[in-house]
Amino acid sequence: MCSGIMLVLLAMSLTPGLDAISKELGQTHDPFFVVFARYAAAGLIALIIAGITGEEIALDVKSLPGQLLRAGLMMGAMCAFVTALTMVPLADAVGGFLIAPIVATGLSVVLLGERMSRQKIIGALLSLLGAVLILRPGLNSQAGTLFALGGGVLLGCYFTASRGTGRREGVVSALAVQSLLGSAMVAPMALSNGVPMIDIEVFGWILALGIVSALTHVMMIMAFRLAEASVLAPFMYFNLVVAVALGIVLFGEVPEAMTLAGLGAILFGGLTTAVRPQVLTRLLGALPGRLAAPVQPAPIGVAA
């Protein structure tokens, strides 16, 4: 389990770096091209790895509609997110994007019949509050924040569509198929005005995007094979901490107090949803007095 947690923390430390590179490239290139280049590079790297390891890359025709749906949702989410990165601070964009787990929780209850509990409801409401604090509707809301939240919704749909699929598919095969399908979908928009000029520096950044994307993808798949999703989910919010730090160091973006409050609400909302009541009880057990009282799941309708 500890190995899985360490892999998630490492992946979440690298992910904001990807976002920072995408933000920088997005200043001079169309967001569609940035997404296309990122996933085309990741797909090609996956093919190279498959050639070295001997893993077979195969696309099951029967699963093609589902693969296309998931790839389309992922590309839509990433295009919206990269667009947001070019318009708002890094932490704001990442914070809006992190509503995805809450969206996935809600959709899983409605569409997949998963059980709801008071814990999940509180987590969803906290994250919704965080989104409102970041967006601040009616107070000169920035379009970039809307793109980030929209991307988070699409990513939540992707998580829901991916639930229970691809478990027998190889790690490298899954990366190659999704990346190449996705890049092919985005290619018409990315290359609508021709292939942009790419110098050595830009090529290096694109190569870095592909390598780190492939690396984080593999680490996440390995992590979820080593530990339960409910154990790993809270640690996925570590990338928000790294994103705030990178935004300050690389771009001089110091979040406003209201934005920090919103990011905190999303963070605690996600933790509330993901952490088991038994874990909360152990954490609170170290506190004095009434705070140390056991945390009950307190189901509404049916148990969690």
The 3-class SS string of 90-112 reads: HHHHHHHHCCHHHHHHHHHHHHH
Residue range(s) defining the domain that contains residue 32: 2-292
Residue 114 lies in a domain: yes
Question: Residue 42: inside a domain, yes or no?
Answer: yes
Number of H helices, E strands in the chain: 13, 0
CA angle 274, 277, 280 (to 5 degrees): 90
300 lies in some domain? no
Mean predicted confidence (pLDDT) in 224-240 = 69
When divided into structural domains, the chain yields a total of 1
| CA distance to 204, 211, 233, 257, 269, per residue, from 297 (Å) | 49, 41, 18, 32, 15
Report the pLDDT value the prediction gives residue 140, as an integer from 0 to 100: 46
Of 190, 208, 188, 206, the C-alpha closest to 198 is 206
Choice between 245 and 138, residue whose per-residue pLDDT is larger: 245
pLDDT of 35 reads 95
Residue 190 pLDDT level (bands cut at 50, 70, 90): very high
181: number of CA atoms within 13 Å, CB side?
A: 22
User: How high is the mean pLDDT of the chain?
Assistant: 79
Identify the pLDDT of residue 136.
65
pLDDT band of residue 107 (cuts 50, 70, 90) is: confident
CB under 8 Å to 219, separation ≥6 — which residues? 7, 8, 10, 11
Taking the C-alpha atoms of residue 149 and residue 104, their distance in angstroms, rounded to an integer, is 13
pLDDT digits (tens, 9 = 90+) for 260-280: 887 788 777 767 766 666 555
Band of pLDDT at residue 81, cut at 50, 70 and 90: very high
pLDDT tens-digit profile of 148-174? Answer: 989 989 988 887 887 655 455 677 888
Q: What pLDDT sits at residue 166? A: 47
pLDDT greater than 50 at residue 304: no
Q: Where are the beta strands (DSSP E) in the chain?
A: none
297 part of a folded domain: no
pLDDT at 233: 64
pLDDT per position as a tens digit, 39-58: 999 999 999 988 888 888 87
Q: What per-residue confidence (pLDDT) applies to 285? A: 55
Q: Residue 296: what are its φ and ψ, rounded to 5°?
A: -100, 145
pTM of the predicted structure, to 2 decimals:
0.77
**Are the C-beta atoms of 59 and 67 separated by less than 8 Å?**
yes
Q: Is residue 39 part of a domain?
A: yes
As a whole number, mean pLDDT of residues 178-204 equals: 91
Q: Name the band, by pLDDT with cuts 50, 70 and 90, for residue 241.
A: confident
Reported as a single tens digit per residue, the pLDDT across 249-264 is 888 888 788 878 877 8
- Please state the rounded mean pLDDT for residues 196-204: 89
pLDDT at residue 297 tops 60: no
Q: Tell me the pLDDT band of 206, cut-offs 50, 70 and 90.
A: very high
Residue 96 inside a domain? The answer is yes
Q: DSSP labels for 57-86?
A: ----GGGHHHHHHHHHHHHHHHHHHHHHHT
Q: Collapse the DSSP code of 271 into the 3-class scheme (helix H, G, I; strand E, B; otherwise coil) and give the result.
A: helix
